[in-house]
A = this chain, B = another copy of it.
């Protein structure tokens, strides 16, 4: 099935906002086994919209139009949809009643210009928007089925996932169940993981499992899209592949599905009623900031200490003598001292010795990490090169991932692709 996306609106066309709705839709469709083949972006302009609708109607089987369903004069999607389909705009009493109830629940009177949102092409099928006043709808233009969706991301998300994708799957004959399994890792590059996972798809003979990646440094997301007759079939297909991915990526898998690295760390701490203090230098508070604001962190997060100067760090954690340089031993001594000072069960210290001079692609930093508990201390040294921001992001992720490894009883030191030595 040939699917096209049309994104509308002056704000998107002029780049005033980055068009993340496009990538969101395209990814969601891919995850459901549906491929987008063409994208069009036009402004709030009658002639452009009509032309875009007509071109897509002549090429595609299905078209998703995003935006232009609002109450203001520059929202033109219903009007141009009716024109392209060759039908009238008529008032939907059904949607009008829905909107009036929507405002009533919020103890507000519906402004008169919202009435426009209930004007739909005569041939349109209403597509529900349970959380907004923009009415989704579908209709045929030319040979294609058009789906009109709101520009507000959370309304689009609900409508795409609950309403549009099931209709597309039904039309495509792919009435199978689709499941997306995701693994998040840190430390291995995309091509490395691709090589490590060579052949995992073929563990299922019918091609029902597809492997994909999404890199967002420092993390990499590995995706398995599984298609089956029903949920049991999907589970049966996923099980051996999933187990194989876990085996091959091993300790590098830091979280799965909707989990995050910081969420996993917090859950590990909470499960043993542990508390955490963090000592940082160049990372400037960003390691603490990943964890400390999370719901539940008010119990587990004890204290964060930030300083750029080693003597200031020594003073803050109560070390008698200031270490002369940043080493693994320094990171260990700082973590142990901070444990005594703050009384946390676990302390993570992350000290970075930055290169001198201006930022450049060869700019690097030596990262010394330590994790201290009452009985134990673990540490790691790593050199990362690639510019100031690359070092900063790498140090934050490495620190949190080492803590995750420690809490999960895995080796803290394991060679990663992003380090020089």
Chain B residues in 8 Å Cβ range of A301: 284, 306-308
* B residues near A347, Cβ cutoff 8 Å: none
Interface of chain A: mostly helix, strand, loop or mixed: mixed
Listed residue (A14, A24, A48, A392) with the most chain B CB atoms within 10 angstroms of its CB:
A14
What residues of chain B lie closer than 8 Å to A316, measured between beta carbons?
Answer: 303, 342
Given A302-B312, A308-B298, A27 and B15 contact (CB-CB distance below 8 Å)? yes
A304–B284 contact, CB under 8 A? yes
**Are the CB atoms of B38 and A26 closer together than 8 Å?**
no
B39 A42 Cβ-Cβ under 8 A: yes
Contact of A30 (CB < 8 Å), options: B12, B15, B20, B307: B15
The 6 nearest A-B residue pairs measured at CB: A285-B285, A304-B306, A284-B292, A39-B41, A15-B26, A15-B23
* Distance, CA A174 to CA B160, complexed state (A): 43
Contact status A305-B305, CB under 8 Å:
yes
Which A residues are closer than 8 A to B by beta carbons? 7, 12-20, 22-27, 30, 35-43, 45, 48, 55, 212-214, 278, 280, 282-293, 295, 297-298, 301-309, 312, 316, 342, 359, 388, 392
Q: Nearest chain-B residue to A55 (Cβ)? A: B55
Q: Is B285 a contact of A308 with CB atoms below 8 Å?
A: no
Taking the closest CB of chain B, its distance from the CB of A44, in whole angstroms, is: 12
Within the complex, which residue of B16, B212, B282, B297 is in contact with A214, where a contact is CB–CB below 8 Å? B16
A391 to chain B, nearest CB (A): 10
Among A38, A41, A214, A282, the one with the most B-chain Cβ atoms within 10 Å of its Cβ is A41
How far apart are the CA atoms of A282 and B301 in the complex, in Å?
Answer: 11
Pick from B22, B214, B302: contact of A41, CB below 8 A: B22
